[in-house]
């Protein structure tokens, strides 16, 4: 590589091969589960006016104050690449009059941008799947959303992950709790870590999940949200947990679980790998794989009517790390024309087979030997080798259908389907009633038959 070749931007990734398969598997599974739960697909712009994020997330949050990709466009407007989905969806809900569809269940996925230090499972351009229920104040909405998340993780085959659940109460409960925490921690401020002293000013709730040893002694006796919950908030949370129990979704109360962004109320949750699990190992310090909560305050911060809503998002890269290696599957059929003159016949066959919904790849570069070697490496279920033979004065073609023994067991079931497909192509084209074609059979075609085939 020349030193003049531009490099990828820090924190971005080019995804290829097995990793790309993992990524696609996550997205495809999400799409399937989304339909099962009847969430409607939406597409959102990748950038918005900066104020969309500044007003909804809160000016003082780290995301807004130092992690946004903001720029001025040619018209002088301040725009920002979306650092999350929720704010943009809320904006769309308000500007498009989607109130008429409320309660509205929507889902989307795509890239997000945050100027952060890259590390394991964390990038500057990263990707999330996202689900939201807007305009539903009932705890049933929280339950349905969590059921969907739970089923998604199960269908992805991710094990050793637990739903950690908490309530932040309604607006007034949350404020009372926050004030009590500030009082409590201010009294011992000098003994707290520097980080937590700062959090005391900016985000006191966050002190609760501090990892610093100096903070730990004070955490157990800190004020609990449960002592500040209004009767309504308590009833709401109970309805959520009862619903989860009814649906068979396992959960664990996590009193220290809070949300960083200002707009959250009531339910807050994260799916976190169990300690010592393979999932925890694979993720390093990026422990949360799916997180969200209720954000009843958001719409008002954007100047809209009070609108209750609840949602979650999950990092696709993180999920992809947990779904296990998905190899790129080999082709069903590999076609190897031994000489270039037979490339036309190979093209004809591949086109016909693809129309039969059989994925097919043609190997036609290098010597016959190399062609076969490359076809081997692609691990097809079946080979079709086109071999031109000369016998005395006439020329004929041999078409050899050969199952791949190397991965025989894997393709056992597939083979019959594949050979059926090949048989169909030949019998239809040659207008013969049937064609015997067991594994390893050789079909000899005269030039005039090839002519019929290629017509």
Partner RNA sequence: GCGAUCGUAGCUCAGUUGGUUAGAGCGCCGGCUUGUGGUGCCGGAGGUCGGGGGUUCGAGACCCCUCGAUCGCCCCA
Q: Are 101 and 289 in contact (CB under 8 A)?
A: no
- Least spacing, CB of residue 231 vs RNA, in Å: 29
> Please, what is the angle between helix 86-95 and helix 50-57, to 10°?
110
- Least spacing, CB of residue 422 vs RNA, in Å: 16
Rg (CA), the chain: 30
How far apart are alpha carbons 331 and 353 in whole angstroms? 12
108 is a contact residue toward RNA (CB under 7 A)? no
Q: Tell which one of 88, 121, 273, 380 touches RNA (CB under 7 A).
A: 121
392 is a contact residue toward RNA (CB under 7 A)? no
Structure tokens at 241: 């947990």
Quick one: which of 401, 387, 403 has its CA closest to 445? 387
Q: Are 429 and 360 in contact (CB under 8 A)?
A: no
The Cβ-side half-sphere exposure at 272, using a 13 Å CA radius, reads 18
220 is a contact residue toward RNA (CB under 7 A)? no
Query: At 312, is the secondary structure helix, strand, or coil?
Result: strand
What residues from 231 to 260 belong to the interface with RNA (CB under 7 A)? 259-260
374 is a contact residue toward RNA (CB under 7 A)? yes
Q: For residues 254 and 385, which CB has a smaller minimum distance to RNA in the complex?
A: 385
Structure tokens at 377: 């490496």
Structure tokens at 309: 């809503």
Q: Tell which one of 140, 197, 387, 424 touches RNA (CB under 7 A).
A: 387
In the stretch 133-172, what mask flags binding to RNA with x, by CB under 7 A?
----------------------------------------
How far apart are alpha carbons 54 and 78 in whole angstroms? 11
Which residues are within 8 A (CB) of 236 and not within 5 positions of it... i.e. 6 or more apart?
139, 167, 170, 266, 267
What ranges in 158-260 are assigned the alpha helix state H?
171-186, 194-202, 216-219, 231-247
Q: Tell which one of 376, 414, 437, 443 touches RNA (CB under 7 A).
A: 376
Q: For residues 51 and 116, which CB has a smaller minimum distance to RNA in the complex?
A: 116
Q: Tell which one of 26, 42, 54, 63 touches RNA (CB under 7 A).
A: 63
Q: Tell which one of 62, 138, 255, 417 touches RNA (CB under 7 A).
A: 62
Q: Which of these segments, 168-176, 356-364, 372-380, 430-438, binds RNA (CB under 7 A)?
A: 372-380
- Least spacing, CB of residue 368 vs RNA, in Å: 4
285 is a contact residue toward RNA (CB under 7 A)? yes
Q: Are 384 and 336 in contact (CB under 8 A)?
A: yes
- Least spacing, CB of residue 73 vs RNA, in Å: 23
The Cβ-side half-sphere exposure at 70, using a 13 Å CA radius, reads 15
Q: For residues 281 and 416, which CB has a smaller minimum distance to RNA in the complex?
A: 281
372 is a contact residue toward RNA (CB under 7 A)? yes
Q: For residues 101 and 115, which CB has a smaller minimum distance to RNA in the complex?
A: 115
Q: Are 371 and 364 in contact (CB under 8 A)?
A: yes
Q: Are 68 and 114 in contact (CB under 8 A)?
A: yes
- Least spacing, CB of residue 359 vs RNA, in Å: 20
Residues found near RNA in the complex (CB under 7 A): 1, 3, 7, 10-11, 61-63, 67, 84, 114, 116-123, 126, 128, 195, 199, 203, 206, 210-212, 259-261, 270, 284-292, 313-315, 317-318, 338, 365-370, 372-374, 376-377, 385, 387, 398, 400, 402, 405-406
């Amino acid at each position: 590589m020349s030193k003049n070749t531009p490099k990828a931007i820090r924190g971005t990734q080019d995804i290829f091969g097995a990793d790309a398969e993992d990524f696609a598997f996550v997205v495809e599974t999400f799409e399937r589960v989304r339909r099962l739960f009847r969430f409607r697909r939406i597409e959102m712009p990748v950038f918005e006016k900066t104020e969309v994020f500044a007003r909804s997330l809160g000016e003082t949050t780290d995301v807004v104050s130092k992690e946004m990709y903001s720029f001025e466009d040619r018209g002088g407007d301040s725009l920002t690449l979306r650092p999350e989905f929720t704010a943009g969806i809320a904006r769309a809900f308000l500007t498009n009059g989607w109130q008429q569809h409320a309660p509205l269940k929507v889902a989307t996925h795509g890239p997000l941008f945050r100027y952060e230090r890259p590390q394991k499972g964390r990038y500057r351009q990263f990707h999330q799947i996202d689900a939201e229920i807007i305009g539903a104040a009932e705890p049933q909405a929280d339950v349905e959303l969590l059921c969907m998340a739970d089923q998604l993780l199960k269908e992805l085959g991710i094990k050793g992950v637990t739903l950690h659940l908490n309530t932040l109460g309604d607006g007034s409960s949350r404020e009372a709790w926050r004030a009590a925490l500030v009082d409590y921690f201010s009294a011992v401020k000098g003994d707290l870590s520097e980080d937590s002293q700062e959090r005391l000013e900016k985000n006191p709730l966050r002190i609760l999940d501090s990892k610093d040893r100096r903070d730990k002694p004070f955490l157990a006796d800190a004020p609990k949200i449960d002592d500040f919950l209004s009767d309504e908030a308590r009833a709401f949370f109970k309805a959520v947990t009862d619903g989860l129990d009814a649906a068979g979704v396992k959960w664990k109360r996590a009193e220290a679980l809070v949300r960083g962004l200002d707009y959250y109320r009531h339910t807050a949750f994260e799916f976190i790998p169990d300690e010592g699990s393979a999932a925890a190992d694979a993720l390093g310090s990026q422990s949360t794989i799916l997180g969200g909560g209720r954000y009843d305050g958001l719409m008002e911060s954007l100047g809209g009517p009070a609108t209750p809503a609840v949602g979650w998002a999950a990092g696709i890269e993180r999920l992809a790390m947990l779904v296990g290696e998905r190899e790129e599957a080999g082709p069903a059929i590999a076609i190897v024309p031994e000489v270039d003159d037979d490339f036309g016949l190979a093209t004809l066959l591949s086109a016909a087979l693809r129309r039969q919904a059989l994925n097919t790849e043609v190997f036609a570069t290098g010597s016959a030997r190399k062609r076969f070697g490359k076809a081997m490496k692609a691990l097809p279920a079946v080979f079709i080798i086109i071999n031109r033979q000369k016998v005395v004065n006439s020329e004929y073609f041999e078409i050899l259908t050969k199952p791949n023994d190397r991965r025989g067991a894997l393709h056992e079931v597939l083979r019959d389907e594949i050979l059926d497909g090949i048989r169909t192509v030949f019998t239809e084209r040659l207008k013969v009633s049937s064609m015997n074609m067991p594994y390893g059979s050789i079909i000899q075609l005269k030039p005039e038959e090839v002519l019929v085939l290629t017509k």
